[in-house]
Amino acid sequence: MARALVTGSQDRVVAVAAVLAEQGIDVVTASVVTDLDGADLSGLDHYIQLPVFVEPEGDNLVGRVRSFLSAGLISRYTFTERVLPALNPGAHVVIVSGSSVRGDLALPDDRSSRLALLHVLAHAVRAETGDRQVEVSIISGARNDADVVAHAIGATSASRTHEQAETVTAKQYQDWRTEIMGFTTGHV
């Protein structure tokens, strides 16, 4: 039986997990990183990372933006780092874009920058798992739950289509990883 992990906001995690279960897939769920403690993550064939709802905290706007990025975007890296060792060869990782905040809270946002950081995450996963041929893609958070699952399990050929820029060989990612990890200094 195939196994999947679904992470993100609890309400959507439950809905996507139900669609996966209907497909006969054994599902593990987590809404916060500590949910992974003690969870059996062995032998994952699919990892679906959904957006999260964030309640930013902070005394000023800069603090709230930091909180939004930490609890939303950066937590995705933490989840992924924990999940990497459990991915089977040929596993599918689907990163669903988006995060949201309470409606009455306005924060400055740069969606393209957040999406770019998701692409960095996807590239890092590919580099780290190149020897296992793990497939990674980023899809829109506007997709419904059934579409997300169809994409993850490859139910339709259209769901597995990638942009040309996202089609890179495992060797290229290993080279990228070596180059990145070989940097002795970084400039910010």
Domain count, the chain: 1
Per-residue pLDDT of the chain (188 residues; tens, 9 = 90+): 999 999 999 999 999 999 999 999 999 999 999 999 999 999 999 999 999 888 888 899 889 888 888 888 999 999 999 999 999 999 999 999 987 765 556 666 677 888 899 999 999 999 999 899 999 999 998 899 999 999 999 865 444 444 333 445 555 555 555 555 555 444 44
Is position 186 within any domain?
Answer: no
Look-up: residue for tokens 């593990």?
28
3-state secondary structure of 163: coil
Is position 120 within any domain?
Answer: yes
| Pairwise CA distance, residues 93 & 82, whole Å | 13
Q: What is the CATH number of the domain that holds 10?
A: 3.40.50.720
Rg over alpha carbons for the chain, rounded to the nearest Å, is 17
pLDDT at 61: 86
Is position 187 within any domain?
Answer: no
Range of the domain at 100: 3-181
- Long-range CB pairs of 140-145 (<8 Å, 24+ gap) are 140/96, 140/97, 140/98, 141/50, 141/51, 141/96, 141/97, 141/98, 142/98, 143/96, 145/12, 145/15, 145/16, 145/18, 145/19
pLDDT at 166: 46
Is position 167 within any domain?
Answer: yes
Is position 72 within any domain?
Answer: yes
CA 121 to chain centre: 8
Task: Locate 79 and state its tokens.
Answer: 């989840």
pTM assigned to the model: 0.81
Strand bridging mode 135-139 / 53-54: unpaired
